[in-house]
Amino acid sequence: MESTTAQVLNFLISFVDEHILKHITDEEERHHAEIDMDRIRGGVRTIQGYVAERMKDLAPVLGPVRARTLLCPQCQQFALTPTLIRGVPEWCQSDAMISTMYCHLCVQGYGALGLALGYAVRVLNRAIPDASYDGDAPDRCPVCTMSSLVRGASTASSPETLIDFCFHCADVINGLQECQRCGSIYTSEQGHRCRRRS
């Protein structure tokens, strides 16, 4: 019975997302409908059968990008991908500069800086930075220069292998080095001139 219920829930939520919400033209009505759907999605994520059914449906979308699919800090499933891949809704892709990552289970786009911090804190259990302590805040990415690089992330293709992932670049950053004197992170191609004198 739970399996059938999960299949029906999955179908209904997908149907509303794909066929009904986009046809609501009144801004206020659409906004209220999206809030209601967020509340519903939040509730059904706790139903194991629904999550399993939904992840099975998402396999064709997530399979080809497993090397860039991360654990979502919200739903704790390997369903978080870069926004600009096939299978992400057009409404989210149009905001790709703002929402660089998208969770296919939460049906939510996320901005780089907040998501990088959320991932570091909720997935990797790192300290939350505050005014007196910078904690384990995301590092500055040497490629895009945004503070959205999380070292020690992992992907669905190899959860045991730790990688460096930039949530702004929405990609794995390979070949990073860390200066032992100043802590700057740089790529081996860039090289580094330490400004700190000993």
Query: Residue 110 pairs with which residues in a beta bridge?
Result: 101
Residue with tokens 């786009």: 109
User: What count of Cα atoms within 13 Å lies in the side-chain half-sphere of residue 76?
Assistant: 9
Mean pLDDT, to the nearest integer, of 48-71? 87
Band of residue 33 on the pLDDT scale cut at 50, 70, 90: confident
The tokens 């590092």 sit on which residue? 139
Q: How far apart are CA 71 and CA 62, in angstroms?
A: 12
H or E, element range at 171: strand 171-172
* Tokens 């999380």, residue located: 150
* Residues 2-22: tens digit of each pLDDT: 556 666 666 777 777 777 777
The DSSP symbol for 141 reads P
**Residue 121 to residue 131: CA distance in whole angstroms:** 16
Give the residue from 84, 77, 146 showing the smallest Cα distance to 109. Answer: 84
Nearest C-alpha neighbor of 117 from the set 51, 77, 168, 75: 168
More confident residue, 12 or 197: 12
Q: What is the mean pLDDT of residues 152-169?
A: 93
Nearest one of 191, 188, 182 to 139, comparing CA atoms: 182
DSSP β-ladder status, 171-172 and 158-166: antiparallel
What count of other Cβ atoms lies within 10 Å of the Cβ of residue 98?
12
Highest-confidence segment of 1-5, 139-143, 190-194: 139-143
Position 197, amino acid: R
**How does pLDDT run across 121-136, given as a tens digit for each residue?**
889 988 877 655 555 6
Q: In this structure, what token pair is assigned to residue 43?
A: 């509730």
82-95 confidence digits (pLDDT tens): 887 777 767 666 66
- Does 116 or 42 have the greater pLDDT score? 116
Instruction: Please tell me the predicted confidence (pLDDT) of residue 164.
Output: 93
Phi, psi of 79 (to 5 degrees): -140, 10
Please check the confidence at residue 68 and state whether its pLDDT lies above 70. Answer: yes
